[in-house]
Structure 1
Amino acid sequence: MDIVGNGFLARNLRPLADRHPGTVALAAGVSWASGTSDADFAREAALLKEAAEGCLATGRRLLFFSTAATGMYGRAVGPGREDAPITPCTPYGAHKLALEEQLRASGADHLILRLGHLVGPDQPDHQLLPSLVRQLRGGAVRIHRGAARDLIDVRDVITVIDRLLALDLRAETVNVASGVAVPVEDIVDHLGQALGLTARREYQEAGGQHTISIDKLRALVPEVGGMGFGPGYYRRILDDFTGAARV
């Protein structure tokens, strides 16, 4: 597999570099759901166009990473499903959905994965958990009231990607998440307890909560049944994350 990019996800994909030779993984582009610009979006659209054209010319499959986060499914009625109509509720969600449509129209073989919130060592500072830890250490945490996030261990994500690619899926879209929406307040509680930190909480009225359907993922990759997904799954991955953060 050829991996385009050198960020958090791209680094975690490297163990698969010698597998799936007919696939190009586009692990580059916009990974920040807030604070992005039209220029950032345009650069990612151009990168996707170039990658899709290259795959079309060489007969390879393009693996594209979209989002299953609030920006995509925040207005969904019930769990967010891959086959349901979507009305994105943030510019980032609208951008990712537009890129999915761009890829489908390109004619290139492809697999689109809508990811939950990945958790693992050496995440970029702007992502959810590093940001919360930094705020806890600074003495004040901003919480969107009522917000919840689906957390998934990046190691489990890589296992799932390996299994999905082995199925030789084409023109499919699959949610890759734990299927559990964890209140951000519970995430902050666990981080604070694990790190021995307390902080003032500043609430904002901009929260979003949704559940991501993983019915399709479970049908395609039965191994996810052994990954521990469920209400307590997030505690294990937060313990792993805070253990690395203390080092």
Structure 2
Amino acid sequence: MEIVGTGFLARNLRPLADSYPDTVALAAGVSWASGTSAADFAREAELLRRTARRCAAEGLRLMFFSTAATGMYGLAEGPGREDGPVTPCTPYGAHKLALEGLLRDTGADHLILRLGHLVGPDQPEHQLLPTLLRQLREGTIRIQRGAARDLIDVTDVVTVVDRLLALDLRAETVNVASGAAIPVEEIVDHLQHSLGLAAERVYQYAGRQHDISIEKLRALVPQVERMGFGPDYYRRILDNFTAGTGTRV
């Protein structure tokens, strides 16, 4: 598998590099759901367009990583599903949905994976878990009131990707998440308890809470039943993450 990109997800996909020679994994582009410029969006769109054209010409399958996060499904009634209508509620969500359409229009064989919030060692500092840890250490943590996030370990994502690619899926969209929306306050509670860190909580504007449907994922990859997905899954991956950061009280 050819991996396009050098960032967090791309690095974690490297164990699959010698498998699936007919597949290109586009693991590059915008990974910041807020504060992203139109220029960043345009660069990612051009990269996708160029890569998809090459895949179409060479008979390759393109795996594109979209989002199942709030920006995509935050306005959904009930769990966000791959086969239902989607009304993005952020520029980032609208951008990712537009890229999905762009990819389909190129005619390239493709697999679209809508990801939850990835967690793992050495992830970018602007993402959720590094941000929360940094704020905890600084003594003041900012929380969107009512917000919730579906966290999934990046190693579990790689396992799921491996299984999905082995099915030789084409023209499919699949949510890859744990299926459990965890209130951000509970995530902070667990981090504080585990690390013994005290911080003042500053509540900001109300966030959104939504569930991500993983019904399709469970049907395609029965092995996810052994990954422990559910309401307590986040505790293990938070503990793994903090252990990997070397955080000390």
- TM-score, normalization: structure 2? 0.98
Q: Deviations over 1:6-36 (max 9, x none)?
A: 0000000000000011000000000000010
Report the equivalent of 2:194.
194
Distance 2:15 2:165 in 1: 14
Query: Higher mean Cα deviation, 191-200 or 232-241?
Result: 191-200
Return the letter of the residue paired with 2:74.
G
Given residue 4 of structure 2, which amino acid in structure 1 is its aligned partner?
V
Where do 4+ consecutive residues of structure 1 move more than 2 Å? none
1:88 correspondence with 2:88: yes
Given the alignment of the two structures, is residue 57 of structure 1 paired with residue 57 of structure 2, yes or no?
yes
- Give the 5 Å matches for 1:40-189: 40-189=40-189
Q: How far apart are the structure 2 equivalents of 1:195 and 1:42?
A: 40
- Secondary structure of the corresponding residue to residue 114 of structure 1: strand
Shift of 1:70: 0.1
Aligned-partner SS, 1:88:
coil
Paired letter, 1:108 = A
Structure 1 stretches lacking a partner, 5+ long: none
Partner amino acid for 1:97?
L
RMSD: 0.6
Does 1:27 pair with 2:22? Answer: no
Number of residue pairs aligned between Structure 1 and Structure 2: 247
Paired with 1:230 and 1:85, the residues of 2 have a C-alpha distance of 25
| Residues 126-162 of structure 1, C-alpha deviations (whole Å, 9 max, x = no match) | 0000000000001101100000000001010000000
Normalised to the residue count of structure 1, the TM-score between the two structures is: 0.99
8 Å contact kept, 1:79–1:211: yes
Deviation string for 1:83-117 (max 9, x for gaps)?
00000000000000000000001100000000000
- What is the identity, as a one-letter code, of the residue corresponding to 2:175? N
2:72 aligned partner, one-letter code: M
Instruction: Give secondary structure in 2 for the equivalent of 1:156.
Output: helix
Q: Does 1:4 pair with 2:4?
A: yes
SS in structure 2 of the partner of residue 101 of structure 1: helix
Matched-pair contact (CA < 8 Å) for 1:53–1:108: yes
- Distance in 1, matches of 2:172 and 2:101, equals 12
| TM-fit CA distance, 1:246 | 2.2
Letter in 2 for 1:165: L
- 1:44-89: CA deviation from partner (whole Å, max 9, x where unpaired): 0000001000000100000000000000000000000000000000
Matched residue, 1:207 = 207
* Aligned-residue offset at 1:245: 1.7
SS at match of 2:168: coil
Structure 1 residue identity aligned to 2:223:
E
Q: What is the DSSP-based 3-state SS (H/G/I as helix, E as strand, rest coil) of the residue aligned with 1:238?
A: helix
Shifted more, 202-211 versus 2-11: the winner is 202-211
Instruction: Quote the offset at 1:206 in angstroms.
Output: 3.2
- Once residues 108 and 206 of structure 1 are traced to their aligned partners in structure 2, the CA distance between those partners, rounded to angstroms, is 40
Distance (Å, rounded) in 2 between the aligned partners of 1:206 and 1:7: 31
Where in structure 2 are there 5+ consecutive unaligned residues?
A: none
